[in-house]
Amino acid sequence: MEEEGVRMGIIVGKVEKLFKEISNWGRKNSLWAAIQPIGCCGMEMLATSTPHYDADRWGVLYFESVRRCDLIIVGGYITKKYLPRLKYVYDQMTDPTYVLAMGECAISGGPFYDSYAMVTDVDEHIPIDVHIPGCPPRPEALLDGIRELQEKIQEEGDLEGKLPEEKVEWRYEYSGEQED
């Protein structure tokens, strides 16, 4: 078989791979974001969607209904009290779900690392795809993180294997249903 690629205007390659590429291309260019502007990072996050920075140019649309979103931007301090709610939000979103951790707080606790109320290992609870350091990261940094995520999506598709089994468990836990 000939090498994959485009030859004389004809796409050569496996059909599944082609479909995957096309679906990945679609996914990466229409990220609907459920935003979590919990801390001061939220200001930068909101600014990113305003006309000045206009995240919509990269296909990122902030949307109210988490059930229709596939990107969650966690910006700010996750407290022990908030963590179950964050998981609940994550759990309701469509699959595949991508997660951006924005700011030091969401990554490791940041300036509140020593607080009794902080969750310093959000990564243990929901799988984070891209970490954006900064306190707070500027909108440009957030856009850079989004671009990085898009590259990752194009390469890895639905980031296979990242959908944790627990996600299914949470679903039952929170809805009160029992698995048969």
Per CB under 6 A, residues contacting ligand SF4 are: 39-41, 76-77, 103-105, 110-111, 135-136
The residue count for binding other proteins (CB under 8 A) is 9
Q: Considering the complex, state which of residue 7 and residue 85 has its C-beta at the smaller distance from other proteins.
A: 85
* Sole window of 23-31, 51-59, 110-118, 166-174 interacting with other proteins (rule: CB under 8 A): 110-118
CA nearest to 58, candidates 133, 140, 138, 150: 150
**From ligand SF4, other proteins, none, interface partner of 17 (C-beta below 5 to 8 A by class):** none
**DSSP string across 5-53:** EEETTEEES-HHHHHHHHHHHHHHH-EEEEEEE-STHHHHHHHHHSTTT
**From ligand SF4, other proteins, none, interface partner of 103 (C-beta below 5 to 8 A by class):** ligand SF4
Q: Smallest distance, Å, CB 37 to other proteins?
A: 21
CA nearest to 36, candidates 94, 109, 105: 105
Q: Give residue for tokens 């690629």.
A: 5
> Residue 82, class by beta-carbon neighbours within 10 Å (0-12 exposed, 13-18 middle, 19+ buried)?
middle
Q: Which residues pair with 12 in a beta bridge?
A: 5
Cα three-residue angle 165-81-45, rounded to 5 degrees: 80
Q: Considering the complex, state which of residue 70 and residue 104 has its C-beta at the smaller distance from ligand SF4.
A: 104
**From other proteins, ligand SF4, none, interface partner of 76 (C-beta below 5 to 8 A by class):** ligand SF4
**What residues numbered 77-96 form the site for other proteins, per CB under 8 A?**
80-81
Q: Considering the complex, state which of residue 41 and residue 153 has its C-beta at the smaller distance from ligand SF4.
A: 41
**From ligand SF4, other proteins, none, interface partner of 114 (C-beta below 5 to 8 A by class):** other proteins
Q: Smallest distance, Å, CB 109 to other proteins?
A: 8
- Say how far apart CA 144 and CA 36 lie, in whole Å: 18
